Protein backbone atom coordinates (compact mmCIF):
# COMPACT_ATOMS: atom_id res chain seq x y z
CA UNK A 1 0.00 0.00 0.00
CA UNK A 2 1.35 3.42 -1.00
CA UNK A 3 0.89 6.32 1.37
CA UNK A 4 0.67 10.01 0.62
CA UNK A 5 3.39 11.84 2.58
CA UNK A 6 0.91 14.25 4.19
CA UNK A 7 -1.65 11.79 5.61
CA UNK A 8 -1.13 8.45 7.35
CA UNK A 9 -4.28 6.92 8.83
CA UNK A 10 -2.26 4.44 10.90
CA UNK A 11 -0.47 7.24 12.75
CA UNK A 12 -3.33 8.22 15.02
CA UNK A 13 -1.80 8.34 18.49
CA UNK A 14 -2.83 11.72 19.87
CA UNK A 15 -0.19 14.28 20.75
CA UNK A 16 0.22 14.07 24.52
CA UNK A 17 1.24 17.73 24.78
CA UNK A 18 -1.49 19.92 26.26
CA UNK A 19 -2.78 22.28 23.61
CA UNK A 20 -4.43 25.61 24.26
CA UNK A 21 -7.99 24.76 25.21
CA UNK A 22 -11.31 26.46 25.69
CA UNK A 23 -10.60 27.26 29.33
CA UNK A 24 -7.58 29.45 28.55
CA UNK A 25 -8.81 31.15 25.40
CA UNK A 26 -9.64 34.84 25.22
CA UNK A 27 -11.45 34.65 21.85
CA UNK A 28 -14.74 34.03 23.66
CA UNK A 29 -14.35 37.04 25.94
CA UNK A 30 -17.29 39.40 25.73
CA UNK A 31 -19.03 37.23 23.12
CA UNK A 32 -22.53 35.76 22.95
CA UNK A 33 -22.80 32.10 22.05
CA UNK A 34 -25.71 29.80 21.23
CA UNK A 35 -25.73 26.03 21.73
CA UNK A 36 -28.57 24.19 20.04
CA UNK A 37 -29.53 21.02 21.88
CA UNK A 38 -27.61 22.56 24.75
CA UNK A 39 -29.16 20.46 27.55
CA UNK A 40 -27.44 17.30 26.29
CA UNK A 41 -24.08 15.86 27.33
CA UNK A 42 -22.07 18.04 24.95
CA UNK A 43 -24.02 21.17 25.84
CA UNK A 44 -23.45 20.65 29.57
CA UNK A 45 -19.72 20.15 29.12
CA UNK A 46 -19.09 23.00 26.70
CA UNK A 47 -21.22 25.42 28.73
CA UNK A 48 -19.23 24.74 31.91
CA UNK A 49 -15.97 25.29 30.03
CA UNK A 50 -17.19 28.48 28.38
CA UNK A 51 -18.28 29.91 31.72
CA UNK A 52 -14.64 29.77 32.80
CA UNK A 53 -14.04 32.42 30.14
CA UNK A 54 -15.33 35.95 30.41
CA UNK A 55 -18.20 35.32 27.99
CA UNK A 56 -21.03 37.82 27.80
CA UNK A 57 -23.84 35.29 27.38
CA UNK A 58 -24.49 31.63 26.58
CA UNK A 59 -27.87 30.74 25.12
CA UNK A 60 -29.30 27.24 25.33
CA UNK A 61 -31.92 26.31 22.73
CA UNK A 62 -33.81 23.07 23.33
CA UNK A 63 -37.31 21.60 23.50
CA UNK A 64 -37.18 20.17 27.02
CA UNK A 65 -38.09 22.77 29.64
CA UNK A 66 -37.55 20.27 32.48
CA UNK A 67 -33.91 19.70 31.46
CA UNK A 68 -33.50 23.45 31.06
CA UNK A 69 -34.80 24.05 34.57
CA UNK A 70 -32.47 21.41 36.00
CA UNK A 71 -29.51 22.93 34.14
CA UNK A 72 -30.48 26.42 35.29
CA UNK A 73 -30.38 25.34 38.94
CA UNK A 74 -27.18 23.34 38.45
CA UNK A 75 -25.22 26.19 36.87
CA UNK A 76 -26.83 29.13 38.71
CA UNK A 77 -25.08 31.63 36.44
CA UNK A 78 -26.86 34.73 35.12
CA UNK A 79 -24.85 34.55 31.88
CA UNK A 80 -26.72 31.40 30.81
CA UNK A 81 -30.09 32.08 29.20
CA UNK A 82 -32.56 29.44 28.10
CA UNK A 83 -34.73 29.46 24.98
CA UNK A 84 -37.51 26.94 24.59
CA UNK A 85 -37.76 26.11 20.93
CA UNK A 86 -37.06 23.57 18.22
CA UNK A 87 -34.60 23.65 15.34
CA UNK A 88 -37.48 22.41 13.17
CA UNK A 89 -39.03 25.88 13.64
CA UNK A 90 -36.86 28.46 11.92
CA UNK A 91 -38.53 31.34 13.76
CA UNK A 92 -37.45 29.95 17.14
CA UNK A 93 -33.89 29.53 15.81
CA UNK A 94 -33.87 33.07 14.42
CA UNK A 95 -35.06 34.38 17.77
CA UNK A 96 -32.39 32.50 19.72
CA UNK A 97 -29.56 33.42 17.32
CA UNK A 98 -30.28 37.16 17.13
CA UNK A 99 -27.19 39.21 18.14
CA UNK A 100 -25.17 36.00 18.61
CA UNK A 101 -21.49 35.79 17.65
CA UNK A 102 -20.91 32.03 17.54
CA UNK A 103 -23.16 28.96 17.34
CA UNK A 104 -22.47 25.30 18.20
CA UNK A 105 -25.14 23.14 16.57
CA UNK A 106 -25.56 19.97 18.65
CA UNK A 107 -29.32 19.43 18.39
CA UNK A 108 -30.06 16.10 16.71
CA UNK A 109 -31.87 12.80 16.89
CA UNK A 110 -29.00 10.43 17.68
CA UNK A 111 -30.53 7.09 18.64
CA UNK A 112 -30.23 4.57 15.81
CA UNK A 113 -33.33 2.47 16.70
CA UNK A 114 -35.57 5.54 17.07
CA UNK A 115 -34.53 6.86 13.68
CA UNK A 116 -35.08 3.45 12.08
CA UNK A 117 -38.70 3.40 13.22
CA UNK A 118 -39.31 7.10 12.64
CA UNK A 119 -37.02 8.13 9.75
CA UNK A 120 -39.02 11.22 8.81
CA UNK A 121 -38.47 12.56 12.32
CA UNK A 122 -34.72 12.24 11.70
CA UNK A 123 -35.19 14.09 8.40
CA UNK A 124 -37.11 16.91 10.09
CA UNK A 125 -34.59 17.40 12.90
CA UNK A 126 -31.23 16.41 11.44
CA UNK A 127 -31.67 17.72 7.90
CA UNK A 128 -34.43 20.35 7.82
CA UNK A 129 -33.59 21.53 11.33
CA UNK A 130 -29.91 21.90 10.46
CA UNK A 131 -30.81 23.87 7.34
CA UNK A 132 -32.89 26.16 9.55
CA UNK A 133 -29.90 26.72 11.83
CA UNK A 134 -27.62 27.53 8.89
CA UNK A 135 -30.16 29.92 7.37
CA UNK A 136 -30.94 31.64 10.67
CA UNK A 137 -27.23 32.17 11.36
CA UNK A 138 -26.72 33.73 7.93
CA UNK A 139 -29.82 35.91 8.33
CA UNK A 140 -28.61 37.16 11.73
CA UNK A 141 -24.97 37.70 10.74
CA UNK A 142 -23.52 35.06 13.07
CA UNK A 143 -19.75 34.95 12.57
CA UNK A 144 -19.15 31.21 12.92
CA UNK A 145 -21.32 28.09 13.07
CA UNK A 146 -19.85 24.69 13.96
CA UNK A 147 -22.12 21.69 13.24
CA UNK A 148 -21.59 18.41 15.08
CA UNK A 149 -21.66 15.20 13.04
CA UNK A 150 -20.88 11.53 13.63
CA UNK A 151 -18.88 8.66 12.18
CA UNK A 152 -22.23 7.04 11.35
CA UNK A 153 -22.53 9.60 8.53
CA UNK A 154 -19.67 7.82 6.71
CA UNK A 155 -20.99 5.00 4.51
CA UNK A 156 -24.30 5.18 6.41
CA UNK A 157 -26.41 2.03 6.70
CA UNK A 158 -29.12 3.41 9.00
CA UNK A 159 -31.52 6.34 8.97
CA UNK A 160 -29.66 8.24 11.67
CA UNK A 161 -26.37 8.08 9.77
CA UNK A 162 -28.04 8.90 6.48
CA UNK A 163 -29.74 11.96 7.95
CA UNK A 164 -26.45 13.17 9.48
CA UNK A 165 -24.70 12.63 6.14
CA UNK A 166 -27.30 14.88 4.53
CA UNK A 167 -26.80 17.38 7.36
CA UNK A 168 -23.13 17.57 6.38
CA UNK A 169 -24.09 18.25 2.74
CA UNK A 170 -26.51 20.97 3.84
CA UNK A 171 -23.82 22.65 5.95
CA UNK A 172 -21.13 22.48 3.27
CA UNK A 173 -23.42 23.60 0.46
CA UNK A 174 -23.99 26.91 2.23
CA UNK A 175 -20.49 28.16 1.52
CA UNK A 176 -20.30 26.54 -1.92
CA UNK A 177 -23.50 28.27 -3.01
CA UNK A 178 -22.81 31.56 -1.20
CA UNK A 179 -19.20 32.65 -1.79
CA UNK A 180 -19.88 35.95 0.02
CA UNK A 181 -21.62 34.39 2.99
CA UNK A 182 -21.26 36.26 6.28
CA UNK A 183 -21.35 33.09 8.39
CA UNK A 184 -18.46 30.60 8.31
CA UNK A 185 -20.09 27.16 8.51
CA UNK A 186 -17.85 24.23 9.45
CA UNK A 187 -18.27 20.66 10.66
CA UNK A 188 -16.74 18.26 13.14
CA UNK A 189 -17.13 14.49 12.98
CA UNK A 190 -16.37 12.10 15.82
CA UNK A 191 -17.06 8.60 17.05
CA UNK A 192 -18.36 7.27 20.36
CA UNK A 193 -18.29 9.93 23.08
CA UNK A 194 -17.58 8.04 26.28
CA UNK A 195 -20.25 8.31 28.97
CA UNK A 196 -22.42 10.62 26.89
CA UNK A 197 -26.17 10.32 27.35
CA UNK A 198 -27.45 7.13 25.70
CA UNK A 199 -23.98 5.62 25.17
CA UNK A 200 -23.10 2.03 26.04
CA UNK A 201 -20.79 2.77 29.00
CA UNK A 202 -23.51 3.96 31.43
CA UNK A 203 -25.53 0.91 30.40
CA UNK A 204 -22.61 -1.40 31.20
CA UNK A 205 -22.00 0.34 34.54
CA UNK A 206 -25.66 -0.07 35.53
CA UNK A 207 -25.58 -3.77 34.64
CA UNK A 208 -22.42 -4.25 36.74
CA UNK A 209 -24.10 -2.50 39.68
CA UNK A 210 -27.03 -4.92 39.38
CA UNK A 211 -24.72 -7.91 39.13
CA UNK A 212 -26.01 -8.76 35.67
CA UNK A 213 -23.95 -9.97 32.72
CA UNK A 214 -23.01 -7.37 30.13
CA UNK A 215 -24.74 -7.82 26.77
CA UNK A 216 -22.50 -7.44 23.72
CA UNK A 217 -23.87 -7.66 20.20
CA UNK A 218 -20.60 -8.67 18.53
CA UNK A 219 -17.39 -9.05 20.58
CA UNK A 220 -15.20 -8.18 17.59
CA UNK A 221 -17.07 -4.97 16.82
CA UNK A 222 -14.78 -1.94 16.94
CA UNK A 223 -15.52 1.69 17.76
CA UNK A 224 -13.54 4.92 18.04
CA UNK A 225 -13.37 6.21 21.61
CA UNK A 226 -13.37 9.87 22.62
CA UNK A 227 -14.04 11.64 25.90
CA UNK A 228 -16.52 14.51 26.20
CA UNK A 229 -13.57 16.80 26.90
CA UNK A 230 -11.97 15.72 23.62
CA UNK A 231 -15.20 16.40 21.73
CA UNK A 232 -15.27 19.92 23.16
CA UNK A 233 -11.63 20.44 22.19
CA UNK A 234 -12.45 19.32 18.64
CA UNK A 235 -15.29 21.85 18.34
CA UNK A 236 -13.04 24.54 19.81
CA UNK A 237 -10.30 23.68 17.32
CA UNK A 238 -12.74 23.89 14.41
CA UNK A 239 -14.05 27.22 15.64
CA UNK A 240 -10.56 28.72 15.70
CA UNK A 241 -9.22 27.19 12.49
CA UNK A 242 -12.13 26.67 10.10
CA UNK A 243 -12.47 28.11 6.67
CA UNK A 244 -15.79 27.97 4.89
CA UNK A 245 -17.21 24.39 4.66
CA UNK A 246 -14.23 22.73 6.38
CA UNK A 247 -14.64 19.38 8.14
CA UNK A 248 -12.43 18.52 11.14
CA UNK A 249 -11.74 15.10 12.63
CA UNK A 250 -9.78 14.43 15.81
CA UNK A 251 -7.51 11.42 15.64
CA UNK A 252 -8.64 8.70 18.00
CA UNK A 253 -7.82 5.17 18.96
CA UNK A 254 -10.31 2.33 18.77
CA UNK A 255 -11.14 -0.78 20.74
CA UNK A 256 -13.39 -3.81 20.49
CA UNK A 257 -16.66 -3.78 22.38
CA UNK A 258 -15.63 -6.92 24.26
CA UNK A 259 -12.41 -5.22 25.46
CA UNK A 260 -14.45 -2.21 26.58
CA UNK A 261 -16.80 -4.49 28.53
CA UNK A 262 -13.91 -6.40 30.09
CA UNK A 263 -12.11 -3.20 31.07
CA UNK A 264 -15.18 -2.01 32.99
CA UNK A 265 -15.57 -5.39 34.67
CA UNK A 266 -11.93 -5.22 35.75
CA UNK A 267 -12.17 -1.66 37.07
CA UNK A 268 -15.25 -2.45 39.16
CA UNK A 269 -13.66 -5.71 40.35
CA UNK A 270 -16.82 -7.49 39.27
CA UNK A 271 -17.35 -11.15 38.46
CA UNK A 272 -20.19 -10.65 35.96
CA UNK A 273 -19.84 -12.26 32.55
CA UNK A 274 -20.35 -11.15 28.98
CA UNK A 275 -23.30 -12.42 26.91
CA UNK A 276 -23.13 -12.22 23.12
CA UNK A 277 -26.59 -11.43 21.72
CA UNK A 278 -25.78 -10.89 18.03
CA UNK A 279 -25.52 -7.83 15.79
CA UNK A 280 -28.63 -5.67 15.86
CA UNK A 281 -30.50 -4.29 12.88
CA UNK A 282 -28.76 -1.28 11.27
CA UNK A 283 -25.56 -1.79 13.31
CA UNK A 284 -22.14 -1.82 11.66
CA UNK A 285 -19.23 -4.02 12.68
CA UNK A 286 -16.85 -1.07 12.36
CA UNK A 287 -17.18 2.67 11.87
CA UNK A 288 -15.22 5.05 9.64
CA UNK A 289 -14.38 8.64 10.48
CA UNK A 290 -13.25 9.50 6.95
CA UNK A 291 -13.40 7.93 3.52
CA UNK A 292 -10.34 7.44 1.36
CA UNK A 293 -11.83 10.04 -1.00
CA UNK A 294 -11.86 12.58 1.82
CA UNK A 295 -8.36 11.64 2.95
CA UNK A 296 -7.05 12.29 -0.55
CA UNK A 297 -7.72 16.00 0.01
CA UNK A 298 -7.11 16.07 3.77
CA UNK A 299 -4.51 18.10 5.61
CA UNK A 300 -2.80 16.30 8.50
CA UNK A 301 -2.55 18.71 11.43
CA UNK A 302 -1.05 16.44 14.04
CA UNK A 303 -3.95 15.62 16.34
CA UNK A 304 -6.51 16.55 13.70
CA UNK A 305 -7.42 16.09 10.06
CA UNK A 306 -8.75 19.11 8.18
CA UNK A 307 -10.82 18.09 5.15
CA UNK A 308 -11.73 20.86 2.76
CA UNK A 309 -15.05 20.64 0.96
CA UNK A 310 -15.17 19.37 -2.60
CA UNK A 311 -15.21 22.74 -4.35
CA UNK A 312 -16.21 21.60 -7.84
CA UNK A 313 -19.11 23.57 -9.28
CA UNK A 314 -21.96 22.28 -11.41
CA UNK A 315 -19.74 21.86 -14.45
CA UNK A 316 -20.48 18.19 -15.10
CA UNK A 317 -17.22 17.67 -16.99
CA UNK A 318 -15.40 17.98 -13.67
CA UNK A 319 -17.42 15.03 -12.36
CA UNK A 320 -17.48 12.86 -15.49
CA UNK A 321 -14.20 13.48 -17.30
CA UNK A 322 -11.71 14.31 -14.52
CA UNK A 323 -10.62 12.24 -11.53
CA UNK A 324 -8.10 11.94 -8.72
CA UNK A 325 -5.42 9.32 -9.33
CA UNK A 326 -4.24 9.60 -5.69
CA UNK A 327 -7.46 8.17 -4.22
CA UNK A 328 -6.35 4.60 -4.88
CA UNK A 329 -3.35 5.19 -2.56
CA UNK A 330 -5.60 5.56 0.50
CA UNK A 331 -7.78 3.40 2.67
CA UNK A 332 -10.65 4.55 4.84
CA UNK A 333 -9.92 5.91 8.31
CA UNK A 334 -11.79 3.06 9.97
CA UNK A 335 -11.98 1.70 13.53
CA UNK A 336 -10.75 -1.64 12.15
CA UNK A 337 -7.47 -0.28 10.74
CA UNK A 338 -6.32 2.39 13.23
CA UNK A 339 -4.32 1.82 16.41
CA UNK A 340 -6.34 -0.51 18.64
CA UNK A 341 -6.17 -0.37 22.42
CA UNK A 342 -5.92 -3.53 24.51
CA UNK A 343 -7.88 -4.03 27.74
CA UNK A 344 -5.32 -2.32 30.00
CA UNK A 345 -5.16 0.71 27.69
CA UNK A 346 -8.95 0.94 27.66
CA UNK A 347 -8.88 0.87 31.47
CA UNK A 348 -6.41 3.78 31.48
CA UNK A 349 -8.64 5.77 29.12
CA UNK A 350 -11.75 5.04 31.19
CA UNK A 351 -10.02 6.34 34.32
CA UNK A 352 -9.67 9.75 32.65
CA UNK A 353 -13.48 10.06 32.60
CA UNK A 354 -14.70 11.91 35.73
CA UNK A 355 -18.00 10.03 35.71
CA UNK A 356 -16.22 6.66 35.80
CA UNK A 357 -14.09 7.73 38.76
CA UNK A 358 -17.24 8.97 40.49
CA UNK A 359 -19.01 5.64 39.88
CA UNK A 360 -16.00 3.71 41.15
CA UNK A 361 -15.99 5.83 44.30
CA UNK A 362 -19.70 5.18 44.84
CA UNK A 363 -19.07 1.46 44.40
CA UNK A 364 -16.32 1.59 47.01
CA UNK A 365 -13.65 0.66 44.48
CA UNK A 366 -10.50 2.76 44.64
CA UNK A 367 -9.06 3.14 41.15
CA UNK A 368 -5.37 2.39 40.86
CA UNK A 369 -3.20 5.35 40.01
CA UNK A 370 -1.52 4.74 36.68
The residues that are catalytic are 152
Phi and psi of 60, rounded to 5°? -115, 120
Signed CA dihedral, 336, 338, 340, 346: sign only? negative
Task: Give the HSE-up count for residue 143: Cα atoms under 13 Å, Cβ half-sphere.
Answer: 12
| 269: region left, alpha or beta (phi > 0 left; psi from -120 to 50 alpha) | left
The pairing of strands 247-250 and 222-226 is unpaired
For residue 272, give every residue at least 6 positions away whose Cβ sits within 8 Å of its Cβ, in sequence order, or none. Answer: 207, 208, 211, 212, 213, 214, 265
Question: What is the side-by-side order of every strand in the sheet holding 222-226?
Answer: 192-193, 222-226, 254-256
Amino acid sequence: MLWHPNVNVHNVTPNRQKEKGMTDNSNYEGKTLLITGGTGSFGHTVTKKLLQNNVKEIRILSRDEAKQDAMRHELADHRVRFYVGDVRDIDSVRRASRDVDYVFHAAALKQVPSCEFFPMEAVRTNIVGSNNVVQACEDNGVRSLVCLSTDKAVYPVNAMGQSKAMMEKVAQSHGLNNPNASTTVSLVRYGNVMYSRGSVIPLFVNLIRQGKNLTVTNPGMTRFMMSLADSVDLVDYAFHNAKQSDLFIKKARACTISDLAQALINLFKSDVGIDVIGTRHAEKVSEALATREELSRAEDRGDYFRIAADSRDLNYDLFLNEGNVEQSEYEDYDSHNVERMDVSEVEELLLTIPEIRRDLHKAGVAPKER
